[in-house]
Structure 1
Amino acid sequence: MHYNRIKILCVIFFAFYSTTLNAYWVWNTKSKKWSNPKHSVKGTAEDQFLWAKKFYEEGEYKKALKGFQKLMKKYPRSRYSPEAGFLSGSCLMNLGQYYDAYLIFQKVLKKYPGFSQVEEIVKKQVQIGNHYFYKKGFNIGKVTFPKNNDHAIEIFQGIIENSPYGEYAPYAHFYLAESYRLINRFEDAIRMYEALIDKFPKSEYVAESRYKIILSSSHFVTKDGYTEKDLDEAKLEFEIYMKKHAKTARGHIAQKEIDDLNQKDAQKILETAQWYEKKKKYKAALLYYRDFYRKYKNHEESEGVKDKINVLSMN
């Protein structure tokens, strides 16, 4: 009796379960697999697009993303595919996956060059570039790691390639240059500032770019291998800028940069003279001490250098 009751309950359970199963799963004779119609690609690209877009409008970005990606895979040549790609990138941005969004946007622009919303995509890419440009470094324990500008550089470069003379091109040039400058790639920074000035002479970023060229040059010329000509040119640029902006904060910064350049140059000349003196190459040392005294008579080390000149001149 008890055994029969169990059999009846099992029959009822499996009957109910199979009914539920059949309501959601269908056997595909071609693929030889069960599939759920609820998650299958719709019969037309339009239906699939509208289905995914409904999730997008409701803020269900994960579901919308899956729907748009299925459309692009199933109907790659459909007129809905470019916009599906655009909205896929927007979904990823809303999900905080910014770099993946940038890559999707790039794919759309390359695969569908005639897409009508190119500038809208570029605008989204600018937002992504800004995200990485302004992103701060991170800490692990007591160790601080600086931010990595690689993504910002790649994205602003991509924007320039995608829309070289578009609305956001001057902005991309400027912030690409800034991205280089902040990681001490001064030559690349100067090149991009100059490109901006040449291509967009009326841009709002021109004045700032001119100043940043001078600033970058001052850092560049103090590296090993700079010549006196390089240094003099950098100082001249700052002096010209300082005269034009004498009463502004930037004018004071320019004066400070000139002072820093002089200090670095004086230090280098003095260290070179001392090195030759240590090696007992007194003629060479005397040349550098004289050069130091000629250029920096008001330097705090000038009296000591003058004494060195007098001593070495007697040899």
Structure 2
Amino acid sequence: MKNMKKFTIIPIILIANFLFASTLDQNFQLAKKMYQDTLYEEAIQQFQKIISQYPTSKEAEESQLLVGNCYYNINNFADAEQTYKHLLRAYPESDFVPNALFKLAESQFNQGKYVQSAENYQQLINKYPGSSFAHSSLIKSVKALYLSHQYNETILTALEIAKNYPQNTSIPFVYLVMADAYFDNNIPEKGLSTLQTIISKYKNSEAKWIAVKRLANYYLENDNIEQAINILSDNIDESIPRKYEKDLSLLLGDLLFANNDFQKAMENYQKYLKKFDNETNLDTVSIKIIDCLYKLKNYQKAIEYAQEFVDKLSKSNLIPTAYLRYAQNLFCIKKYTQALQILNKNIWQES
């Protein structure tokens, strides 16, 4: 009889365990489905039930992480921060710790808590150097230090990261932040050399083109237009990504114009119009070409350009400007009556 009781109890335990596991799995899958469907408020409630009812389960650990992610995805970074902190305290040996530590740092970064986020990015890099989260933390740790105005620490950390992770694709971007730290720390020569290093060493990285623009702007701000022109001219080539070519080629044209090289400036603007013929600033660039022609005293060609502008870009906000340029060039070839007619008919009507 006693043996019968034993045999009866064992199946009951097995059934109970099965039902426990089955219910847990069903609830967890339901919560994950809500999460995947971006029903974050509902998912939070379901995950919290799992954490409360099955606190020692693997699902509870992941639920804690996903609750944090729910808050993070709705930009509730304060609650996300507290949730990730709770996971790290409650499950310090969990496989989800690197993920939670990274998202904790991200939540703090997004709240402007740069000192705390830098500490957590660095902790992640030091404790889990081979993890994907550590690699994602490289640039963010340097950015957080920079944004907290710890310029010396930014530079030292950037140098250490570059030494320890030389093949990481974020290294040229780490150098960009380091260059900013040098400039803000009143060591411009180091900032300039760092930007030059990016340009020469990381030719296939997008960071190169950011460095080119920053270098050109630095020289422009310090009244060295020719050096800025040289930087752009030496680096704008066929390898430049389209999204960077647009800004940099336009900047080059403006610098050439400012340096009184109107012929090259015009050629640069014309090349821009041909390549970026569907951009929203075509009217602005067209006005620049008219101005170049005026400076070159090619008044007839400037008039033709102005007429073409009026005909093709009739809805532009720069139509009054185009008419002014039109009249200006007519005056230069002594067509005073026509110039005055244009002014009277169009400019005064606009006002």
Same fold (TM over 0.5): no
Q: Report the structure number with the largest CA radius of gyration.
A: 1
Taking structure 1 as the reference length, the TM-score comes to 0.44
Taking structure 2 as the reference length, the TM-score comes to 0.40
